[in-house]
Amino acid sequence: MRFIVQGYPAYAYTGGRPFDPKARALVFIHGSSNDHSTWQWQSRYFAHHGFTVLAPDLPAHGRSPGTARTSVPAMADWVAELIVAAGVSDAAVVGHSLGALVALDLALRHRVRVRSLVLIGASVPMPVGEPFLAAARDDAPEAFDMATNWSHARHVELQVSPVPGISLVGASRRLNGRTAPGVQHADLNACNTYSPDPAALLALDLPVLVVSGTRDRMTPPENGRALANAIPGARFASIPGAGHTPMSEAPRETLAALRGFLG
């Protein structure tokens, strides 16, 4: 489904069912160099179980054209306008990695648009190493290799895939490799420079769940727990054995965590 957001078409996957602005809305926000497909299992479930779903491609990602936004607040502003363009007043918002920072900033600066918040693979701050940034700045293939490697638990390629017929590492590398020039660096730099006011986190007044994989090498679970502790009333859940991308490494367990929180 397409909307006009900030003057450009914006694509959003709706989980296999038509979007209904009268139903409870649920928005999924993808991470760096990714697109809506990272939510394919969770978005389809909720679209068929009590929610109307939007899993957008951020500008310059996937099927959404336009210029890549270079900061987390700029991406959050875009998502806020997407929610309005979709004809809903607010939504439960689920974000992963960069998408988690976007979801958090959306709640901090566009509170009226967010009903509840789930942050997966999140850390505040979310520093990115200079070698990774430099490789992304050059659009080098090594940058996509780093993203693929660190997005999964160590030696995940030796394990049985939880999704029959799909290589998690292979699918992730292909998805990262489709990223347009300059976009991965813009995404990573946005993560690296985002620094919300701790006092603003303390003032958040909505239900929040932070989810971490116990084998996350990019945003270790202790960082996720620290973020949950920084937000009054926030809950923390860990996904045993999963790395930075529990949506695909442990889709059933991730879905169970989301169901337990979102209802």
Q: Give the pLDDT confidence of 209-231 residue by residue, as tens digits.
A: 999 999 999 999 999 999 999 99
Quote the mean pLDDT of the chain.
Answer: 94
Greatest C-alpha distance within the chain: 47
pLDDT tens sequence across 19-53: 999 999 999 999 999 999 999 999 999 999 999 99
First to last CA, the chain: 25
Domain locations along the chain: 2-126+195-262
Question: Among 256, 260, 154, 169, which Cα is nearest to 214's?
Answer: 154
**Angle subtended at Cα 66 by Cα 60 and Cα 67, rounded to the nearest 5 degrees:** 75
Beta partners for residue 93, in sequence order: 27, 117
Predicted confidence band of residue 178 (pLDDT cuts 50, 70, 90): confident
Copy the structure tokens of residue 206. Answer: 């909505």
HSE-up (13 A, CA, CB side) for residue 37: 13
pLDDT at 96 over 90: yes
Is it the case that residue 157 has pLDDT exceeding 80? no
Asked if 184 contacts 143 with a C-beta cutoff of 8 angstroms, the reply is yes
In this prediction, residue 156 has a pLDDT band, given cuts at 50, 70 and 90, of confident
Length of the chain as a residue count: 263
For residue 219, the SS3 value is coil
115: its two tokens: 């009903």
Mean pLDDT of 252-256: 96
Superfamily of domain 2-126+195-262: Alpha/Beta hydrolase fold, catalytic domain (3.40.50.1820)
Tokens of 55: 């899993």
Is the entire prediction scored with pTM above 0.75?
yes
Q: What DSSP string describes 106-149?
A: HHHH-GGGEEEEEEES--SS----HHHHHHHHTT-HHHHHHHHH
Which pLDDT value is given to residue 106?
98
From the CB of residue 44, how many other CB atoms can be counted at a distance below 10 Å?
17
CA distance 75 to 190: 9
pLDDT of residue 150: 85
Residue 1 CB partners (closer than 8 Å, separation 6+): 11, 12, 13, 14, 18, 19, 54
